[in-house]
Structure 1
Amino acid sequence: MQNITHEVELIMRQRRFVAHPLLTPFSMLACLLTVSLLPAAAQADNVADQLAGSLSVNGQSMPVEAVTETPMKGVYHVRLESGESFYSNADGSHFLVGDLYENGDQGLVNLTEQEQNRARADALAAVPDGELVIFRGADEPKATITVFTDPTCPYCARLHDTIPELNERGIAVHYMAFPRAGMSSQAATTLQQVWCSDNRSEAMTQAKEGQTISSAANCDNPVAGQYDLGKALGVKGTPAIILPNGQLVPGFVPPERLSAMLGLDDQ
């Protein structure tokens, strides 16, 4: 009863509730029962919302993107706008950095990785097709991979050479820009030229082959935004392949292995 009373007092303070002289013991009991019957999920959501708005370090607010409840009681997963994440208790007084695993019937399951995959998939789903450089075969693709790329990256060129085979296997490739040396690099300028071209796919191929692209780099383009998004999603080098489920696969992957990872060998 003490805990419930404390919750009621907290709610009353938050809503600036002023007790009325006619408030009877019966009405107070009804209030207590109402709080005690709140669904656990609603209470957890409320804690997550409060935590998102109150997290700070040394008096500085943290740029929180999302706070979600974990299966571990009283522990919340916090994702920052930078893409970094950690765990916190309900009042933000203790943090834990690392991966959270579930030890169940399926063995050890990395819950942190699952959450990161979901966040990547959601972020990429919000990117319009018009901001991508797309390579797909004549038939409807069976699967789509997103590739963060840099025209000065040798393994990116090697991956690009496999696109015909990937398309033949039913895998569409969605390119996003990631100039490894930053936005002041020649790679960034080349990528902006690609995105400013009338034929982006042709310009991308030219860039991979080291050819000169004739278009200017002064159009309104998403290269800087995609570079920032890639960093937020955990991309550290190129090529960086993101599967439909949000899993990040760094480096070059041969078509046959990608096909197996996407579950297409059984189709």
Structure 2
Amino acid sequence: MKKTILPLASGLLAATLAVPTLSWAAVPESLESIEVSGRSMPVKDVRETTMADIYEVRLETGETFYTNAEGNYFLVGDLYEKTDSGLVNLTEKARNAERQERLEEVADDKRVTFRSTDETRARVVVFTDTTCPYCQRFHEEMSRFNELGIAVDYLAFPRGGMESPGGRELQKIWCAENSSEAMSAAFREEPLESDATCDNPVEEQYHLGLELGVQGTPAIIMPDGRLVPGYVPAERLAKLLGLE
């Protein structure tokens, strides 16, 4: 199904959520095709939750909501489990796992990587835009990240879209013979000699970022899939990674 998502409950479904701990048990056929006001919603898959008669519905757009077996009640929000140690956000926990899985599918040669020659103690993925001031600040600390044993894999996220200055520049970087040198040059606001006509993954990575909940740059994805938005200084990132 390729139809556009239908606004529901005054746009509540615009919140991008994730899949909690769910099973792939048989689900009601009534949820395979959900209609609202006579229009089909772009259902990608349906899973049974740990709550009786409550199902998670994932749309092709990446959005998620919960519903009953008949598909006539809808709930948007995070699902928590009460444990002896407190509340556990199952939605975010599953979202982190999904980010890990999706990023593992990105080949190394489609990343722009910075790492030291010494031992790599942690590896993070950072969605970046060379026209973003906070991305520039982040890149200025790259040598310090590497000294601390933190390898950084850049993925492209042109905030203004593919036709924005950032979008065009990111394509030039991925088309350059040495993409890491081109990335550093772009952050120094030096002109790039390469063009953007090669078969590059910038648009694909942009949509991947949107799918994973990236709303701005820099967006740091930790090894466990957690999303840390915004600029984080090297020393603080090392602490978040448990390196200090």
Query: What TM-score, normalized by structure 1, do the two folds share?
Result: 0.78
> How far apart in 2 are the matches of 1:77 and 1:95?
10
State whether residues 33 and 43 of structure 2, in contact with CA within 8 Å, keep that contact through their aligned partners in structure 1.
no
Cα distance change, pair 231–153 in 1 and its aligned pair in 2 (3 A): same
Pairwise CA RMSD of aligned residues?
1.9
Q: Secondary structure at the residue paired with 1:68?
A: strand
> How far apart in 1 are the matches of 2:212 and 2:180?
24
Q: Give the counterpart of 2:25 among 19, 24, 45.
A: 45
State whether residues 144 and 243 of structure 1, in contact with CA within 8 Å, keep that contact through their aligned partners in structure 2.
yes
Q: Which runs of 5+ in 2 are unaligned?
A: 1-21
Cα distance change, pair 208–85 in 1 and its aligned pair in 2 (3 A): same
> How far apart in 2 are the matches of 1:174 and 1:52?
39
State whether residues 147 and 239 of structure 1, in contact with CA within 8 Å, keep that contact through their aligned partners in structure 2.
yes
Cα distance change, pair 118–78 in 1 and its aligned pair in 2 (3 A): farther
Corresponding position of 2:5:
none
> How far apart in 2 are the matches of 1:117 and 1:57?
30
Q: Which runs of 5+ in 1 are unaligned?
A: 1-40
Cα distance change, pair 257–64 in 1 and its aligned pair in 2 (3 A): farther
Query: What TM-score, normalized by structure 2, do the two folds share?
Result: 0.85
* Residues 1:115 and 2:76 aligned together: no
Corresponding position of 2:152:
173
State whether residues 27 and 47 of structure 2, in contact with CA within 8 Å, keep that contact through their aligned partners in structure 1.
no
> How far apart in 1 are the matches of 2:46 and 2:242?
32
The alpha carbon displacement at 1:230 in A equals 0.7
The alpha carbon displacement at 1:162 in A equals 1.2
The alpha carbon displacement at 1:61 in A equals 3.2
The alpha carbon displacement at 1:263 in A equals 1.7
Choose 76-85 or 141-150, whichever is displaced more. 76-85
Corresponding position of 2:123:
144
Cα distance change, pair 170–179 in 1 and its aligned pair in 2 (3 A): same
> How far apart in 1 are the matches of 2:45 and 2:115?
34
Deviations 1:118-169 (A, max 9, x none): 1111111111111111111113422111111011101001111111111111
Corresponding position of 1:217:
196
> How far apart in 1 are the matches of 2:107 and 2:140?
25
The alpha carbon displacement at 1:191 in A equals 0.3
The alpha carbon displacement at 1:65 in A equals 3.7
> How far apart in 2 are the matches of 1:140 and 1:260?
17
Q: Give the counterpart of 1:130 among 98, 109, 116.
A: 109
* Residues 1:104 and 2:83 aligned together: yes
| Equivalent residue pairs, number | 223
Q: Secondary structure at the residue paired with 1:54?
A: coil
The alpha carbon displacement at 1:51 in A equals 6.2
Q: Which has the higher contact order (CA 8 A, sep 6+)?
A: 2
Q: Secondary structure at the residue paired with 2:32?
A: helix
Structure with the largest fraction of helix: 1
Corresponding position of 1:162:
141
Deviations 1:166-202 (A, max 9, x none): 1111111110111111111111000000000000000
The alpha carbon displacement at 1:70 in A equals 2.3
Alignment of 1:1-267 (within 5 A): 45-47=25-27, 50=29, 53-265=32-244
State whether residues 159 and 253 of structure 1, in contact with CA within 8 Å, keep that contact through their aligned partners in structure 2.
yes
Read off the aligned partner of 2:95 and give its amino acid letter: Q
Cα distance change, pair 173–64 in 1 and its aligned pair in 2 (3 A): farther
The alpha carbon displacement at 1:208 in A equals 0.8
